[in-house]
Amino acid sequence: MSVETKAGFDDIDGVPPPSATPFAIGHVQAWEDLVAATRSGRMHHAWLIQGPLGIGKATMAFGFARHLLGAVWEQIDDRRMFEASNPIFRQIASGAHPNVVHIRRAEADRGDGFKTQITVDEIRRLQHFFQSTAPSGWRIAIIDPVDDLNRNAANALLKILEEPPPRSIFLLVNHLPGRILPTIRSRCRVLRLDLLSARQVESGLHQLLGPGASNVSASAQSADGRLRDALQLQLSGGSEIAETVRRLFATGPVDWTEVQTVAEAVGGKGREAVWTLFETGIFGVLAEEARIALNEQHLSKASKISCLWESESRRWTDALAYNIDRKQIVLTFFRNLEQARAS
């Protein structure tokens, strides 16, 4: 029984969004911490659900919202299963439940697509939600992700968190801890989610794509613990992209001929899914390079790669907002990578 959902900026075609996914996999301890907090009678009003992109943080948030509002779920091994025909599930999935508001990037004011940030207008919608709903039962706000708040929106949210409305719960999805205001972080209880195992990713792929999906094991192994990446690998022919990313990052001089070829291939019109996968891949490998350098006590290298990650992440966001040629974005990235490694 399908549910009509409102399109979001990061939806994957053919896959239900987190609001309409009837299962969650992994993160058992984090889920138990949430449930225990509910039963304790001392429920914190704001939870910062942190972890890498694509591991199920928003799915966790929507699952917990259903739990708070009385939807029945069943634990099967390391999966939590919800009944998709349940009225609470269907209302939340369609965005029609009066006690749940989902704040994320809004549709662009002009043309197709979505805004590049969550603006203060969306936080005003959140304020209206609390003003127009009676505090009978939990009133739940899911900010997805809090990383996308612009400065005005972040300050407006902070004011709400400082004086939370009665019976309010804020579930803040957070990919990168450095992207949020320290004052927002200080008012939240942090719930840290880690990467999934390859077995869990493979199980999630079968659950979402059906038992007949092919190359599932290979996609799960290549996704480095991120179910979202594995889905894009399956649906976009992305296994080749994952291998290309690893080849481009190989130690030694940058192969500019291959970089040029790849930049043209991933930046072409109608290649949004491939571009997203490529972007996630190169930043994921860059983060892994910094982590390995840190573990091996190469502190200078770790610092340089981490700074590159931060500066390039901002540059990519700005470049896409101003519609700069994507090929040039990729070429500049690898030029800066080469300089960082050489310095």
Q: What is the pLDDT of residues 260-314, one digit of tens each?
A: 988 888 877 656 667 877 888 888 888 888 888 888 988 888 899 899 999 999 9
Q: With 80 as the cut, is the pLDDT of residue 239 above it? A: no
CB-based contact 306:247 (threshold 8 Å): no
Please give the Cα distance from 318 to 331 (Å, whole number): 16
pTM summary value: 0.74
Q: What is the pLDDT of residues 27-53, one digit of tens each?
A: 999 999 999 999 998 899 999 999 999
Please give the Cα distance from 24 to 72 (Å, whole number): 14
Please give the Cα distance from 290 to 301 (Å, whole number): 7
Paired strand residues for 82? 73
Amino acid of residue 193: L
Please give the mean pLDDT across all residues of the chain: 89
Task: Kindly indicate the confidence band of residue 251, based on its pLDDT and cuts at 50, 70 and 90.
Answer: low
6-39 burial code (b ≥16 CB/10 A, e <16): eebebebeebbbbbbbbbbbbbeebbeebbebee
